[in-house]
A and B are shown apart, each in its own frame.
Chain A
Amino acid sequence: MEVFAGEGAALWYLLLGSLVAVAGTVRLLLARDLLARLVAMNVVGIGSLLVLLSLGARAESAAPDPVLSALVITGLVITVAFTGLGAVLIRRIEGIHDAEHAPDQAADGDQISSGQNSSEQDSSSTEGGRDS
C-alpha cells in the first residue's frame, strides 16, 4: 500500500477533497430544500478545507505546513458563523411558510405573525450572527 503513504496519501486526499467540494457545489446549486442547501454549503466547506490540508501535507518536510492549517481553522470558524446565520434565516423563512399554511397555529409559539414581532426577531438574528 505504498500509494496510501506520504505524498501519495496527500494526493489521494487532494482528489477526495476536490470530489467532495464539487459534489457539494452541485447539490448547493441544484437542491430546492433550504436546509439541504445549507448542509451542501458545509460539504463544500469541508471539501475545500480537505484540499487545503492535503496541500499542506504535500510539502517535502515531515511536518505539515502550519500556515495552511491556520487557514483551515479560520475557514472552519467562518463557515460556522455563516452556517449559524443561515440557520436563523431558514428558521424564519420556514416560520413564515408555516404561518401561511396554518394560521391558527402561528399565533402561539415562536412563529412570526406580525411586523413588530419580526423586527424583534431581527435583533436576535443579527446578534446571533455576530456571536457566532
Chain B
Amino acid sequence: MTTAEFSLAGIVLLPLLASAVAVLLGSRVRAVLGILTALLICGLCTAVLIQTAAGGITELALGGYEAPLGIRLRADGLSALFLCLSAVVGTVVSAHAAILPASAGHPGFWPLWLGCWSGLNAVFVSGDLFNTYVGLELVGLTAVALVALGGRDSWMPALRYLFVAVLGSLLFLVGVGLILAAAGTLDMEQAAQQLAETPEAHAAAVFALCLMSVGLVLKLALMPMHRWLIPAHAGAPGAVSPLLSALVIKAALFVILRLWLWVMPLDATTEAETGLAEGLSTALTALAWTLGGFGALAVILGSVMALRQDRLKPLVAYSTVAQVGYWFLFLPLLLDPEAGALEGQPGTTLAEDAVLSGALSGSVALALGHGVAKAGLFLAAGLLKELWGTDEIESLRGAGRRHPLLILSMGLCAVGLIGLPISLGFTGKWHLATSAVAAEHWWIIAVLVLGTLLSAGYLLRGIAPLLLQDAKDPQDQEHDAAQDADASAESPRRQRLAEVPAFVLGLLTVLTGFLAVGIDALMGVGAPW
C-alpha cells in the first residue's frame, strides 16, 4: 500500500473516527481534536494531490476485494480538486470555530462537522454509486443537524431541509437501483463500460439519469427548487453556514458531474442511429437544456433576489442560489454535436476536445472559486452578526471602522464571487465563455455578463454601507457605547483573532487564481475523453 493509497482510506475513515471519539469528550477537548483532525486531513490530502498531479489515478480496493464485490476508492483529477477544497475550507472554518466557540452554536458542532467531513470525502473518492449514496446521506443527515444548532429559529428551516434532502436521496437511490438493474454493477467505471456496450440498457440509464439529476438538483437548490436553502443557510450558526454553502452543496454537484460525464454513455446515445437511441438522445438533450435553462434562470433571478435583501446573511444565501446556476450552463454544450465543430479547423487554435474540456474545467473552477469565496463571505457575515447582534445592513452601517480586517476580507471574497481577474471565479468564467464562443452558444455569454453585473451590484450593496460613515447623531453614539461595553465583556483579543480565518479565505480567493493552470492539468487526469 503506497502513501497515496493509505491516504485515500485515511481521508474518509479518520474524520469518522474522530467524530465518534469527539462525542465522548468535553467541549474544549473536542475543539483540539477537531483542529488535529483537520491538520491530518490536510496532510493526507496533499499525498493524494501529489500522486494525482504526477498523472496517476489513486485506487484502493478496501480489504483487497476487487469490484464489483468489494468497495473501491478512486481519486482522479476531479476528486483531488474537490478534496483540496474541502480540506482548505474545512480547516480554516474549523480554526474559526475553535477560536470562537460561540460561532459553532453548540459543542455538538464538532462530532457533527467531523462526520459531515467524512461523508464529503467519501463522496469525492467513491468509486461506486452505492458508496456515493451512503456518503451523500451522511452529509445530508449531519448537515440537517448542523442547521438545527442555530437555535429555535433554525429548527423549522432544518426540518424543511430534512424533507428536501430525503426526497432527493430517495430519487437518487431509485436511480442507483435502475443503473444496477441495467448495467449489473454499481462500480462507476464498470457501469460506464457496460452501458456503452449494451444499447438496450440505454433507456433505463437515461431514465435513471433523469431521476438522479432531479434528486441531486433538489439538494443543490437549483432555481425553482431553491426555497429551502435561504432560511437554512441564513439561519445556521456562523461557522456552519460557510460549510453548508461552500462544501455540502458541492457534494451533490460532484455527483452530477460524475454521472453526466463519467457514467453516461453520451457518445453512444448521441451517435447511434437506431430509432430508439434517437428518441433517447432527444430526451437527454431536453434534460440538459432544462437544467441549463434553470441555471440561467438561477443566475439572473437569484441575483435579483439578492439585490432585494436587507439583511446580510440572506443576501449571501441568495448569492449562493445565483452561483449554483453557473455550474449548469455547460450541460447543453455536452450534448450539442455541433459544439466541437470548430475544433482542429484551420484558423483556430482549438485542439481536440478543447471545447468540452474548457467548459468542464471552467465550471469546476467556478465551483471551487465559489467554495473558497463564499466560505469567507459567510464567515465574515456570521462574525458581524455575532459581534453586532444583527445582520441588518442598515444597522451595520459604518462597521468597517471597528472591523477593518473583516470588511477587507469581505471585499476580497466579493472579488472572487464577481469574477474579477486573477481570482478563480474569473478563470472559470473566462474558460466557460471561450468554450461558449467556440461552440456558438451565445446565450451563455449573455447570462455570464448579466450575472457578473448583477453580482457586482448586490455585493456592493451589501458591503458598501459597512464602509460608509454618517455624521454621528447621539443615538448612534449611544449604540457605539453599548457595542464597546459588549466587546469588553467578551475577550476582544479573541474576537480580533476570529477575524483572521475569514481574511485567510479572502486572500486565498485571490491567490488561487494563480493556480488556474494547475486546475486544467489536474482535470486532464482521468478525464472522460
Which residues in A have some Cβ–Cβ distance to B below 8 Å? 21, 25, 28, 34, 37, 41, 44-45, 48, 51-52, 55-56, 58-59, 65, 67-68, 70-71, 74-75, 78-79, 81-82, 85-86, 89-90, 92-93, 96, 112, 115, 118-119, 122-123, 125-127, 129-130
Contacts and interface: CB of A to CB of B under 8 A. Distances in A.
A-B pairs, 10 with minimum CB distance: A126-B108, A52-B177, A55-B181, A48-B170, A89-B159, A78-B137, A129-B145, A122-B106, A48-B174, A126-B145
Interface stretch (B161-169, B337-345, B429-437): B161-169
A65 B108 CA distance: 40
28 contacts: A21-B174, A37-B163, A41-B166, A44-B170, A48-B173, A51-B174, A52-B174, A55-B178, A68-B177, A68-B181, A71-B133, A71-B180, A74-B130, A75-B173, A78-B169, A79-B166, A82-B165, A86-B159, A89-B159, A92-B152, A93-B156, A122-B105, A122-B108, A123-B106, A123-B107, A126-B112, A129-B144, A130-B112
A25 to B, nearest CB: 7
Interface in B313-366: none
B111 interface: yes
Given A51-B174, A82-B141, A118-B152, A130 B162 contact: no
B229 to A, nearest CB: 17
Interface string B118-140: 00000000000010011001001
Chain B interface size, under 10 / 10 to 19 / 20 to 34 / 35 or more:
35 or more
Nearest to A95: B152
A33 B115 CA distance: 31
Contacts of B180: 55, 65, 67-68, 71
B186 interface: yes
Contacts of A37: 163
Given A37-B163, A45-B166, A125-B145, 19 more contacts: A28-B167, A34-B159, A41-B163, A55-B180, A59-B181, A65-B181, A68-B177, A71-B133, A82-B140, A82-B166, A86-B162, A89-B155, A92-B155, A93-B155, A93-B156, A115-B151, A119-B106, A122-B151, A126-B149
Nearest to A117: B152
Contacts of B155: 89, 92-93, 96
B30 to A, nearest CB: 12
B176 interface: yes
Nearest to A121: B152
Nearest to A37: B163
Contacts of B115: 130
B23 interface: yes
A37 to B, nearest CB: 6
A24 B173 CA distance: 16
Contact of B159 (A21, A58, A90, A112): A90
Contact of A52 (B107, B144, B149, B173): B173
B367 interface: no
Contacts of A79: 166
B14 interface: no
Contacts of A119: 106, 151
Contacts of B169: 78
Contacts of A21: 170, 174
B148 to A, nearest CB: 6
Contacts of A118: 151-152
B181 A58 contact: yes
A71 B169 CA distance: 12
Nearest to A128: B145
